[in-house]
């Protein structure tokens, strides 16, 4: 008999769906001693909540997250609500002894995130942050190649995350579906939303960032706010680019924007090492570009890997070579790895501490953009 | 309350998994009056079957398909076993008044398929063939563009399906996982397995094929047979290519092989019309290449469409622009469309009659390869 | 002192320019004991001819090719006129003891080509056919890889040459710039014009073709003729596709058309061998795609070679790595190789005999299209 | 009769060849009242010089550039020597009343470049800088599209120029072929060599840069110097990245390195505007990627333009659609445009003043990298 892991999900938006799908699906494709049980889902709009619960098979609903956190029949709290609510919920959940899976970025800033880390450490509860792109097979393959030393000394890291959905000045800010444009709910714009992904991946693949020099811009200065109905100043950054120096001596450029026509969700990274280079692109996430200088000169070129073979990460659990998996699978993998961590006693990552490390970089980036100076990144103690 | 659609699946191999996933998932993403219920799964190996049933949540198992077909609590029989078993099961299921979803190719040949068509027509049961690639969003988009007349008169159709998994002469034939290499179980090699997909799509997109000139080859003449343990003649075609003339006056080339190094499941098609052209490739199935000659000359080029937007087929039911879906989703869509067909009274296709049409082309291709002559394709009455 | 090689060019059309550029440029980039001298150019329209001669620095002009062939101060006759004139000029030039470079296809058909071969063999004059794509660095690299045995046994060859410039039914046939649409001048349509290139390359890379099954089509049945001013039947093939069996046991598909929207000059070939595969595309002629199955599984993928390094064919004579060369360079290389052949005594190819081999295949293709049967290709004695 | 333009070239290295080819070839493909005459070439090594002169047909040689500049039979001085010699030669040539074509970057720094600008302005001699990438057809097409307003307001500019040829620490610095690694000869590393190209293009396409924040790195600190034979400190920057703000409000990132494995000469730029985006890549310089948001949603995607059509810049002078031209053609175009400028009285650009503007940005970048601060770019008076 499998051990039930009773999930209490807070939030039924885009991420609520992605997480629900992961819980529903993981057991069909990955073995575990644990079985995810969709015990309860929580949100404020009861009518919508019931529809959502019915569709996904949640056994019960709550409209107050405090009640959900207090329930005895919940093992794990999954936080899939706007950023400004993460800290309070997570700290309460930790106090209640629940495992916690929290959407990214971990908090509005490093200060908040530190408290969350303290809370889970004190409570000794398993915890993880939903930086799901670490679980794309091609990204894990990149990690393997780096860890095997194939790239040698790293000279360069470059990442960007480009979108184009907020160019229209008539798009309002705030409220359902648009809280990411409201600085109170989101904390920042593309920096905390998109660059946080790029930063998390980079810390995982390339180690610590020492210092950054950043610039940000808000192209559309005012937008109607959906909650107040008034045209208000836009507080978020529409675009952000920064230079960085990693502890391993490599140089980096990072950039994100929601004003890049033609790019829907173009998260790319490239790493150039002494011997080899790697490139990945979320728009074709099942592919990895790999260049190995040790190949014979005449036939040396970027290898376009179709990451769908059984000897590539996670793939033996899916279909057959040549058949691609997609975005949602990264969440399934994250749950599978979380369950493996529970079973093995080696917790899966990124945990809250990793989330804090990314928040420290985000803080430094925003500070640098304000001050116009190179800014040191706070280190995790 | 939704109406339960009680599924009885026969076969738990690769396709059994793909279908099970579709049933399990369709309700999470698509609305319907019907709800798929995983009522029973059937196969001969009871131990494996129990594991499979447990993993997917099937309520019961059967080890004899006749018993499954005879059960009152089954509404739909899903046939996911080797080709040589399709006809007998389907005909029995039709007689028992069951709806039928049958894996492709419909039958070992047109003669068998005719009987299956007759059976479902007599029984008036809903029926469909799992030519799932019709349900890739990019392929449906291609269909829309053609139906809207954007391509104008069609001059050329070219399709290929290239793999490389049987080049090793030590690979045996027959038995679990390798029945596709055994002519008794499969009927033919790449022609019925892979070209059948290409043909089905082409009939849907470009209308009837009148005549073909084909060649086939078996590169490895003998392989050990897993069921007999002996080295036996290989009866299937390892490769097949054919020229074709469509009724609309366009010329076509089709090719398939399992001896094309570097290609895992490279199904591609291209259509050239008077005004526009389309190209699709299963290895990047979320993309469609589209060229429109009506674009202004200086900025005319192939458009690389990332088919992930809400206004593109099926996509509003999934994630957000830029986030790709994969192979398995084509099966989910097929079930969604089947359920829509039940609800609306306009049955989804390809039905058995469409499957028969493809089998007629397969027959003509194999005949032509044997005779060395152009061969007319039998028409559906 | 270099030995002068005094060129007499016949024809100043597109090919006349490409050849003139090759002669003018070869000495700047390739070493040789020979120096190309632009001695004379010949065509009927004297005014245009003078302009052309002035632009390129030809020392003299002729309006009658017989006079040119008769001149003592000409070492080499370059035939760059419509196909129906090749044989007569070449035979006369051979009799006059001139070296001959002839545009492709060598002749209107194999019968004519046989006479040309006989003439140059009798006269013992150096001779070559302008199948220039053999001289693209990426194609030569493909040849090297094959000759080194990297592909192993070859299973498949596929080539196509797609254009879209004759879709407009108002385009006339015949006369300057359009003689390729006039069957009297061209002999055939895409088969002799475009497929001849594909065939020549394939014979070089993959050996003899034994037999073919072909279809051709003329989509626009009548066009105004520029020379008569009347609407006349179109005698050429607008499109041609054929299946082929090579002597080495590999299967092939070939296709060409001028009705493929979106393709300007898309000559592609792909070769699948036991161990490795190769793909090339004229639209990006400085690239070669190479897949090697012996690469380690996890990092196995198509290598996208940017053929611009000094250790790749011809490249050390040009710029530096990363800087691409283009179409016209293939002609420069052909002249360089021709000069090398003169110097070394090992004549460069394709010579007239190779041109004849291609014409035999063209003949078989056209015969098969007429008869609807598999047709054997005549062998070179 | 054409007017002779008597060229005196100084330097016979890589750039000397590229320029010579341009002079030799321009008249074959472009009409002009002027005719380039290869009058003299100058360098110190007489033996090599004679070989070079013979190969390209220069009528005379000089081993002292001052003598060349003093000659009456020279109309134009072409400076193709290391950067540290540009200013002195150019100023002398201007005083001698010669037209001047100078390799890029114009000078070691803005201060020197200012003097060169003053000299040519005083002497009123035609002048140009060899930023040849402005003359790639695809780049000119980008310029046209921007000038036509198709992109609308520009939000982002990003450029990089990546190479990998100096990763080997055993590579020496200084002397023939390696002066770019010697700070005395080159002035800086990738900033003046590669980023200068990126900056020049960007100023042309996107207007002035106001301020920059940069970082540079020298990965290999010491290398043997070819001229002294000793291991010496490396003074150049191996890599440089900078953030920039353009006067039009757009944000930019620039990066260059010679430590990016897999990239030979990967100069790319991308521009994101309100309505459309553009991407170009030197590795496939005959292509331009264009995205237009005004395309209908379902068929909106990046258009991959094969820039080889007669209605695209420069192309009607070359071959036919589909046949690509390469790197060297950019120099031919630059000479053609220079001649057009002479003829029309509207001088071609980039002239020395444009070269100065780029040097000002280079200065600001290097200053910022030293100071760690945002640095304002000096404006051209």
**C272 pLDDT above the threshold of 90:** yes
Q: Which of C294, C298, C305 to mutate to test the interface with A (most CBs of A within 10 A)?
A: C298
Compare all CA atoms of chain B with the CA of A326 and give the residue at the minimum distance.
B325
Compare all CA atoms of chain D with the CA of C55 and give the residue at the minimum distance.
D28
Within 13 A of A166's CA, how many CA atoms are on the CB side? 31
What 3-state class would DSSP assign to C366?
helix
Q: What is the pLDDT of residues D232-279, one digit of tens each?
A: 999 999 999 999 999 999 999 999 999 999 999 999 999 999 999 999
Q: Do A259 and A270 meet the contact criterion of CB atoms below 8 Å apart?
A: no
Q: If interface means Cβ-Cβ distance under 8 Å, which residues of chain A face chain D?
A: 155-156, 158, 160, 162, 164, 167, 213-215, 217, 219, 239, 241-243, 245, 249, 251, 253, 255, 257, 259-263, 272-277, 291, 293, 302, 372-374
Compare all CA atoms of chain A with the CA of D239 and give the residue at the minimum distance.
A251
Compare all CA atoms of chain C with the CA of D27 and give the residue at the minimum distance.
C55
Q: Which residues in chain C have their CB less than 8 angstroms from residue B374's CB?
A: 372
Average pLDDT over residues B273-297: 98
pLDDT of residue A1: 80
pTM over 0.95? The answer is: yes
Contact C165 D321 (CB under 8 A): yes
pLDDT of residue C176: 84
Q: Do C57 and C24 meet the contact criterion of CB atoms below 8 Å apart?
A: yes
Chains contacting B with at least 3 CB pairs below 8 Å?
A, C, D
> In the numeric block, which tokens belong to residue A77?
């709290």
What 3-state class would DSSP assign to C193?
helix
Contact D25 C24 (CB under 8 A): yes
Q: What is the pLDDT of residues C161-217, one digit of tens each?
A: 999 999 999 999 998 889 999 999 999 999 999 999 999 999 999 999 999 999 999
Give the Cα separation of B310 and B327 in Å (integer).
Answer: 18
Give the Cα separation of D156 and D270 in Å (integer).
Answer: 8
Q: Which residues in chain B have their CB less than 8 angstroms from residue D144's CB?
A: 298
Contact B291 C261 (CB under 8 A): yes
Inter-chain Cβ pairs, chain A and chain B, closer than 8 A: 100
**A158 pLDDT above the threshold of 80:** yes
Compare all CA atoms of chain B with the CA of D292 and give the residue at the minimum distance.
B299
Average pLDDT over residues B360-369: 98
**A251 pLDDT above the threshold of 80:** yes
**B342 pLDDT above the threshold of 90:** yes
On average, the pLDDT of chain A sits at: 97
User: Nearest CA to CA, how far is D266 from chain C (Å)?
Assistant: 7
Inter-chain Cβ pairs, chain C and chain D, closer than 8 A: 99
Q: If interface means Cβ-Cβ distance under 8 Å, which residues of chain A face chain C?
A: 141, 144-145, 288, 290, 292, 295, 297-306, 309, 311-312
User: Nearest CA to CA, how far is D89 from chain B (Å)?
Assistant: 42
User: Nearest CA to CA, how far is D263 from chain C (Å)?
Assistant: 8
On average, the pLDDT of chain B sits at: 97
User: Nearest CA to CA, how far is B281 from chain D (Å)?
Assistant: 16
pLDDT of residue A21: 98
Q: Which residues in chain B have their CB less than 8 angstroms from residue C365's CB?
A: none
Contact D264 C322 (CB under 8 A): yes
Contact B323 A163 (CB under 8 A): no
pLDDT of residue D1: 80
Compare all CA atoms of chain D with the CA of C321 and give the residue at the minimum distance.
D264
Q: Which residues in chain C have their CB less than 8 angstroms from residue D325's CB?
A: 326-328
pLDDT of residue A370: 98
Residue with tokens 């072929």: D177
pLDDT of residue A368: 98
pLDDT of residue C100: 98
pLDDT of residue C1: 81
Average pLDDT over residues D182-204: 97
Contact A261 D273 (CB under 8 A): yes
Chains contacting A with at least 3 CB pairs below 8 Å?
B, C, D
What 3-state class would DSSP assign to D166?
coil
Q: What is the pLDDT of residues D297-314, one digit of tens each?
A: 999 999 999 999 999 999
Residue C128's H or E segment, with its range, is strand C127-129
**D290 pLDDT above the threshold of 90:** yes
- C-alpha distance from residue C324 to each of B186, C28, D24 (Å): 49, 17, 19
Q: Which of A198, A213, A261, A373 to mutate to test the interface with D (most CBs of D within 10 A)?
A: A261
On average, the pLDDT of chain C sits at: 97
Q: Which residues in chain A have their CB less than 8 angstroms from residue D374's CB?
A: 372
DSSP state of B323: -
Q: Which residues in chain C have their CB less than 8 angstroms from residue B276's CB?
A: 261-262
User: Nearest CA to CA, how far is C257 from chain B (Å)?
Assistant: 9
pLDDT of residue B176: 84
Chains contacting D with at least 3 CB pairs below 8 Å?
A, B, C
pLDDT of residue B184: 95
Contact B272 C255 (CB under 8 A): no
Q: For chain A, what percent of residues have pLDDT higher than 90?
A: 98
Residue with tokens 């173009």: A266
pLDDT of residue D176: 84
Facing D306 at nearest CB: one of C14, C165, C283: C283
Burial (Cβ within 10 Å: 0-12, 13-18, ≥19) of residue D149? exposed
The three-state DSSP-derived secondary structure of chain A is CCEEEEEEEECCCHHHHHHHHHHHHHHHHCCCCEEEEEEEEECCCHHHHHHHHHHHCCCEEECCHHHHHHCCCCCEEEECCCHHHHHHHHHHHHHCCCEEEECCCCCCCHHHHHHHHHHHHHHCCCEEECCHHHHCHHHHHHHHHHHCCCCCCEEEEEEEEECCCCCCCCCCECCCCCHHHCHHHHCCCHHHHHHHHHHHHHHHHHCCEEEEEEEEECCCCEEEECCCCCEEECCCCCEEEEEEEECCCCEEEEEEECCCCCCCCEEEEEEEECCEEEEEEHHHCCEEEEEECCCCHHHCCEEEEECCCCCCCCHHHCCCCCCCCCCCHHHHHHHHHHHHHHHHCCCCCCCHHHHHHHHHHHHHHHHHHHHCECEECCCCC
pLDDT of residue A177: 84
Facing A303 at nearest CB: one of C141, C301, C311: C301
Q: For chain D, what percent of residues have pLDDT higher than 90?
A: 98
Banded model confidence at residue A50, pLDDT cuts 50, 70, 90: very high
Q: Which of A275, A303, A315, A316 to mutate to test the interface with C (most CBs of C within 10 A)?
A: A303
pLDDT of residue C95: 98
Q: Which of A145, A211, A262 to mutate to test the interface with D (most CBs of D within 10 A)?
A: A262
DSSP state of D299: G
Give the Cα separation of D285 and C90 in Å (integer).
Answer: 39
Q: Which of B159, B213, B274 to mutate to test the interface with C (most CBs of C within 10 A)?
A: B213
Q: For chain B, what percent of residues have pLDDT higher than 70?
A: 100
Q: Which residues in chain A have their CB less than 8 angstroms from residue B24's CB?
A: 24-25, 28
Q: If interface means Cβ-Cβ distance under 8 Å, which residues of chain B face chain C?
A: 155-156, 158, 160, 162, 164, 167, 213-215, 217, 219, 239, 241-243, 245, 249, 251, 253, 255, 257, 259-263, 272-277, 291, 293, 302, 372-374
Average pLDDT over residues D61-76: 98
Contact A251 D164 (CB under 8 A): no
Per-residue burial over A262-278, b if 16 or more Cβ lie within 10 Å, else e, is: bbbbbbbbbbbbbbbbb
Contact D245 A164 (CB under 8 A): no
**B226 pLDDT above the threshold of 80:** yes
Largest CA distance in chain A: 66
CA B90 to chain centre: 17
Average pLDDT over residues A202-231: 97
Average pLDDT over residues D358-375: 98
Banded model confidence at residue D192, pLDDT cuts 50, 70, 90: very high
Q: What is the pLDDT of residues B293-339, one digit of tens each?
A: 999 999 999 999 999 999 999 999 999 999 999 999 999 999 999 99
**A157 pLDDT above the threshold of 80:** yes
Compare all CA atoms of chain A with the CA of B20 and give the residue at the minimum distance.
A28
- C-alpha distance from residue A39 to each of A57, A126, C373, D307 (Å): 9, 18, 69, 58
Burial (Cβ within 10 Å: 0-12, 13-18, ≥19) of residue A143? middle
**A223 pLDDT above the threshold of 90:** yes
**A178 pLDDT above the threshold of 80:** yes
Q: Which phi-psi region, left, alpha or beta, contains residue B2 (left: φ > 0; alpha: ψ -120 to 50)?
A: beta
């Amino acid at each position: 008999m499998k051990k039930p892991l009773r999930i209490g999900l807070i939030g039924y938006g885009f991420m609520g769906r992605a997480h629900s799908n992961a819980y529903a699906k993981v057991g069909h494709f990955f073995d575990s001693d644990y079985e995810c049980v969709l015990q309860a889902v929580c949100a404020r709009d009861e009518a919508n909540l019931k529809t959502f619960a019915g569709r996904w098979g949640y056994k019960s609903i709550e409209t107050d997250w405090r009640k959900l956190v207090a329930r005895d029949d919940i093992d794990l709290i999954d936080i899939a609500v706007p950023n400004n609510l993460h800290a309070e919920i997570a700290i309460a959940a930790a106090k209640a002894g629940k495992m916690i899976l929290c959407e990214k970025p971990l908090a509005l800033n490093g200060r908040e995130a530190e408290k969350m880390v303290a809370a889970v450490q004190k409570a000794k509860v398993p915890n993880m942050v939903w930086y799901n792109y670490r679980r794309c097979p091609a990204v894990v393959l990149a990690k393997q190649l780096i860890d095997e030393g194939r790239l040698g000394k790293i000279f360069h890291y470059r990442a960007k995350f480009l979108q184009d959905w907020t160019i229209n000045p008539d798009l309002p800010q705030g409220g359902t579906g648009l809280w990411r444009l409201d600085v109170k709910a989101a904390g920042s714009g593309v920096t905390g939303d998109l660059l946080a992904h790029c930063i998390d991946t980079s810390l995982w693949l390339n180690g610590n960032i020492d210092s950054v020099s950043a610039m940000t811009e808000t192209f559309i200065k005012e937008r109607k706010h959906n909650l107040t109905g008034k045209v208000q100043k836009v507080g978020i950054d529409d675009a952000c680019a920064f230079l960085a120096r990693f502890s391993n001596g490599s140089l980096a450029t990072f950039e994100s924007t929601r004003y890049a026509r033609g790019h829907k969700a173009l998260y790319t990274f490239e790493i150039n090492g002494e011997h080899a280079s790697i490139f990945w692109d979320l728009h074709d996430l099942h592919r990895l570009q790999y260049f190995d200088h040790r190949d014979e000169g005449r036939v040396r070129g970027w290898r376009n890997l179709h990451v769908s073979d059984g000897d590539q990460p996670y793939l033996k659990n899916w279909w057959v070579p040549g058949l691609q998996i997609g975005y949602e699978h990264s969440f399934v993998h994250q749950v599978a790895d979380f369950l493996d961590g529970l079973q093995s006693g080696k917790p899966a990552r990124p945990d809250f501490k990793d989330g804090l490390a990314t928040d420290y970089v985000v803080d430094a980036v925003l500070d640098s953009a304000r001050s116009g100076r190179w800014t040191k990144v706070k280190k995790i103690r």
